[in-house]
Amino acid sequence: MTEEKTDDVTKKERTNLEREERQKENERSIKIKQIKSWLPWIIFVALVIGGIYWAISAAETANKNRPGEAVSIMSSDHIAPGGESVTYNSNPPTSGPHAGPAPWGFNTEEIPDINAIHNIEHGGIWISFKNLNDDATATLGEIARQNSASVIVSPRESNDTSISVASWGRLMQLDTVDENRINEFIRQNKNKSPEPLAR
């Protein structure tokens, strides 16, 4: 009689153990299914975060590799011509308070800084020069002609060097006309501005 009871208990225990094992197996299966259902979302989120990180890194690298030196951006307030004088943080300025735009292309007369900055704000490039011979001036004139809706060329006696090439927050100073460097500056810095409208 005791043995039979033991056998019954054993059978009962075995049945309970099997039931518990099946239940654990079902719970494991449910967890695996849940993980599998979350996996596409986890991968998607990881790809989005990775893509954002890559884009930011690529933009920072591209910005560092652009020709010219970076200049801190000043306010882009609009001011009236002949109003209060402005002190800029570079010579020539690459950003800051400004008035109406200057004419694109080659200019034989000096252009006020407050006007050239307006063109720079719109993605243009300002090439200013002083003390150049006729051949060098002609080369700058040709660069202006080839970029007639995105480049201003003008004399500027207050330059620190013979040639200054300015875009929004970027400045390259040259002692001689280097057509390749100037064209590369234009290519990489055009329309890197708050209102990119240069063509």
CA distance 61 to 53: 12
How much is the pLDDT for 137? 97
CA distance 150 to 145: 10
H-only helix segments in the chain: 2-65, 113-121, 134-146, 179-189
Which residue type does 46 have? Answer: A
CA distance 117 to 127: 12
In this structure, what is the dihedral angle of CA atoms 24, 30, 32, 38, given to the nearest 10 degrees? -150
Which positions of the chain have pLDDT values less than 70?
1-9, 54-64
Which pTM was predicted?
0.71
How much is the pLDDT for 148? 94
How much is the pLDDT for 90? 97
Are residues 79 and 98 in contact, defined by beta-carbon separation less than 8 angstroms? yes
In this structure, what is the dihedral angle of CA atoms 190, 147, 87, 177, given to the nearest 10 degrees? 100
pLDDT digits (tens, 9 = 90+) for 122-151: 999 999 999 999 999 999 999 999 999 999
How much is the pLDDT for 112? 94
Q: Which residue has the tokens 């300015």?
A: 166
Name the β-bridge partners of 152.
105, 126
Name the β-bridge partners of 127.
153, 165
Q: What's the half-sphere exposure (Cβ side, CA atoms, 13 Å) at 144?
A: 21
The DSSP H or E segment spanning 165 is: strand 163-167
Q: Where are the domains of the chain?
A: 1-65, 70-189
> Among the CATH numbers 3.40.50, 1.10.3470, 1.10.1040, 3.40.30, which is that of 70-189?
3.40.30
How much is the pLDDT for 134? 96
Give the single-character DSSP code of 150.
T
Query: Which positions ≥6 away from 152 have C-beta within 8 Å?
Result: 102, 103, 104, 105, 107, 111, 116, 119, 124, 125, 126, 127, 144
